[in-house]
Amino acid sequence: MTTHIDRTHGAALASWVESAHGHAQFPIQNLPMGVFATGASARIGCAIGDQVLDVAAALSAGLLPDVDTRTARAVTGETLNAWMALDAAQRRTLRVDLSRLLEAGSHTGAIAQRHRGVILHAQEDCRMLLPAQVGDYTDYYAGIHHAYNCGVIFRPEQPLQPNYKHLPVAYHGRASTLMPSGVPVHRPSGQVRVDGDGGPQGRFQPTARLDYELELAIWVGPGNPLATRIDIAQAAQHVAGFGLLNDWSARDIQAWESAPLGPFLGKNFMTSVSPWVVTSDAMAPFRAARMPRDASDPRPLAYLDDADDAACGGLSIALEVHLSTRRMREAGLAPHRLSHGDASALWWTPAQMVAHHTAGGCNLRPGDLIGTGTISMPEGRECGCLLEMTHGGKRPVQLPNGEVRSFLEDGDEVVLRGTCRREGFASIGFGECRGQVRG
């Protein structure tokens, strides 16, 4: 099942970590996993309020009594790959133990409080790293309004390709340039098209059309051996958690190079990922029905169709993009919210993406990363990238301080945020995915 609600989700649950009370991102109901460093060595942590719980230190102090030896090994590593490789039941047992450890009034919590100097670090003193060593990164195109809006710009006569509602479209991305939130993005140079008397020619120059893309990150769990497939009914068990992802894009390089194959240098210079993995268990109250199909839409083929996934395989996450320019920061102005949207605008669910990825026998491995594709809303300017928002650069965005943007300029900083809210449950957040453009 995709959703399993238990006492770790209880709205009344409170932590002895004071800052977790009503924390907008990391109350005790969230417990996202990440990798942090206070000095040279990387350790696995769990966010609670404005603190990070050192999970291995908590294990050493005997505060995680129910975890088995495989889980114990997994949480003492320097990446989350081994944790992602655990069975869904093992990850859930760890979550229950972490919840008890951090719960106010629990027996374990009372003991843990006496160890707080050893097991807790202030988040502001921690450097957050990429959660996993990513073997492979795949980027889907599942945001249907983004696909439609981009299609209108490039192919107004047929905005959605004929395959779009039949299969989740994707390309294989680049893992070596995945970076955690906070790492600056350097404006890439590449070949762009110039039209002269002799027809189109290439010119090598810094991109003049640097863009961001608001996406969700899907962290792959156990995965599958080569030449096997993951059944749609089991696919949710192979998702360890979620994050925010910014697929930085150079639109002029992308437009010239992407014929007839897909994105290459227009995308591979860097991709930013938020450092906290919001677990599939934490997301249980915030699942949604998959996007409804009209009678004229094709029914998903059997390998992409499952009743549980149709009922609750989607995600309900409020998403926001904020921009601050150098001039805004120098004037002490707050970042400007460029757009907001919701993950429910994904045509394909994470389980469908996993099932499709493996349908031909491709093996997914623990710590592989899947991007959902840019998430935009149906109308207006609530778009997940500037290409759409400015109609290919033709209608620049006006910022409150009088500046305008068609595409990103040096010094611009983009911050993605995500929040889950549902009546009767504590709200949880994804933290942020931040990156500043350098020339």
Q: Where are the beta strands (DSSP E) in 181-255?
A: 185-186, 189-196, 199-206, 210-211, 214-220, 239-246, 249-250
Please name which of 260, 271, 416 lies closest in space to residue 335, comparing C-alpha atoms. Answer: 416
**CB closer to Ca ion, 266 vs 367:** 266
Tokens describing residue 99: 């919840």
The answer to whether residues 278 and 430 touch, using CB atoms and an 8 Å cutoff, is yes
Q: What is the CA radius of gyration of the chain?
A: 22
Residues that bind Ca ion (CB under 5 A): 139, 213, 247
Distance CA 319, CA 317 (A): 6
For residues 344 and 360, what is the distance between their CA atoms, to the nearest angstrom? 27
Smallest distance from the beta carbon of 401 to Ca ion, in angstroms?
29
Single-letter amino acid, residue 108: T
Q: CB of 61: closest distance to Ca ion in angstroms?
A: 42
Q: Which is nearer to Ca ion, 31 or 245 (CB)?
A: 245
Instruction: Tell me, yes or no, if 146 is annotated catalytic.
Output: yes
Nearest to 33 by CA among 314, 221, 271: 221
Residue with tokens 């009034």: 105
**Residue tagged active-site, from 145, 146, 238, 322:** 146
Q: Between residues 263 and 429, which has the closer beta carbon with respect to Ca ion?
A: 263
Cβ atoms of 428 and 178 within 8 Å: the answer is no
Phi, psi of 397 (to 5 degrees): -85, 135
Shortest Cβ distance from residue 245 to Ca ion (Å)?
Answer: 8
Tell me how far, at minimum, the Cβ of 332 lies from Ca ion, in Å.
33
The nearer residue to Ca ion, 213 or 388, going by C-beta atoms, is: 213
Q: Report the residue closest to Ca ion, judged by CB.
A: 247
Six-digit token string for 78: 């320097």
Q: Which is nearer to Ca ion, 266 or 285 (CB)?
A: 266
Q: Which residue has the tokens 């919210």?
A: 337
Residue 103 vs 247, nearer CB to Ca ion: 247
To the nearest whole angstrom, how small is the minimum distance from the Cβ of residue 247 to Ca ion? 4
Q: From the CB of 385, what's the least distance to Ca ion, in Å?
A: 8
Angle between helix 88-102 and 107-114 (nearest 10): 70
The residues that are catalytic are 146
